[in-house]
Amino acid sequence: MTPLSPTVSVLMPVRDGGEHLFEAMASVVAQTLDDFEVIAVDDGSSDDTRAQLERWSTQDDRVRVIPSPPVGIVAALEIARGVARGRYLARMDADDIADPRRLEVQHALLESDQSLVGCGCGVRYFPAELVRDGARRYEAWLNAVRSPADVARAVWVECPLAHPTFFLRSDVVDGVGGYQDHGWPEDYDLVLRLHGAGHRLANAPEVLHRWREGRGRLSRTDARYAPEAFLRCRIHHLLQGPLTGGRDVVVWGAGPVGKAFARAIQERGARVAAFVELDPRKIGQEIHGAPVLATDEALEIRGPLHVSAVGQSGARARIESLLEGAGMAPGEHFVAVA
């Protein structure tokens, strides 16, 4: 029998997920931490998703099925969260595969460190023949983000916890307003609101989740997950946090990434005080009305937020090293957005 208040509520919105649903559900019900409920919201499926979910709920009373007209992932997640009874919320996608120890390891991490409000875990994309180089780079980056300090440093670059691995304290998620739909990635938005509220997040270092790749994923097909949407989300939260009060910005990088960031943040009313470049041919020019400075000049600037916005491999680490060597602190004096 499922307890009235299970430790974990697993939120699983699904639409037309019948092809891989059995594997996903089998991996959840096999968890070594068995004090959980699965809240599966059938988001207007037209395949056999509903029938499969009903079979699982008949076989295992920890599985609850909520039928819904098609409302989209954010609304479906909020439907599930609205009836969740667990002290913790865990996410699961209907086409992924969780390691049997995933919930146990994540629960142990949060129980052992009460300062943490949530965690993700290491991931591995599959099947191998569909995984592109960009996904492998994100996988490697994500799996290197482990400690709360790692998450805080990485949070403005990309979502530092993989959404289908979220394991969060229910009351804290409620306290920041749950999932919200602003036309950008709902997972990144939630993480940035948690970060902005001063909460600490981490990742369990073990690879405990197999993340299915495919051309039909929402992140590949939905405009809410396009690079421009991530940028809008990032800038919105920067203006709510490190850039409150009209703080100026110094953009490290006068290439395409830096220019795009500067243009987007200027459109929101922020002032770019300067660009910083290593290329001597650009130094002394103006971009979007701001001078292009050499690194030694830029390191003398205090007050504005220094933003690393260079896409080349290794550039972020070099810029952060320069800024920290000049006595600047990550998150306070500088952030990286690329």
- What tens digit of pLDDT does each residue of 72-115 get? 999 999 999 999 999 999 999 999 999 999 999 999 999 999 99
User: Cα 249 to the chain's mean position, in Å?
Assistant: 24
CA distances to 225, 253, 295 from 306, rounded to whole Å, are 26, 11, 12
148 and 54, same domain (yes or no): yes
296 and 321, same domain (yes or no): yes
pLDDT at 313: 83
Angle between helices 73-83 and 186-196 (to 10 degrees): 60
288 and 185, same domain (yes or no): no
- What tens digit of pLDDT does each residue of 11-68 get? 999 999 999 999 999 999 999 999 999 999 999 999 999 999 999 999 999 999 999 9
**Which CATH number is 272's domain given?**
3.40.50.720
- What tens digit of pLDDT does each residue of 117-160 get? 999 999 999 999 999 999 999 999 999 999 999 999 999 999 99
Q: Do residues 236 and 149 lie in contact, with contact meaning Cβ atoms separated by under 8 Å?
A: no
Average pLDDT over residues 260-267: 97
Mean confidence (pLDDT) of the chain: 96
Q: Which domain holds residue 259?
A: 242-336
Task: Quote the pTM value.
Answer: 0.95
pLDDT at 217: 66
248 and 205, same domain (yes or no): no
Average pLDDT over residues 200-222: 87
DSSP string, 185-241: -HHHHHHHHHHHTT-EEEEEEEEEEEEE--TT-HHHH-GGGSHHHHHHHHHHHHHHT
CA gap 191, 334 in Å, rounded: 19
Does the residue 230 lie in any domain? no
- Counting beta carbons within 10 angstroms of the beta carbon of residue 72, is it exposed (0 to 12), middle (13 to 18) or buried (19 or more)? middle
Supply φ then ψ for residue 202, to 5 degrees.
-150, 180
Does the residue 233 lie in any domain? no
Does the residue 123 lie in any domain? yes
Q: Do residues 164 and 222 lie in contact, with contact meaning Cβ atoms separated by under 8 Å?
A: no
Q: Are strands 290-293 and 167-169 parallel, antiparallel or unpaired?
A: unpaired
Number of domains in the chain: 2
pLDDT at 39: 98
CA gap 265, 281 in Å, rounded: 25
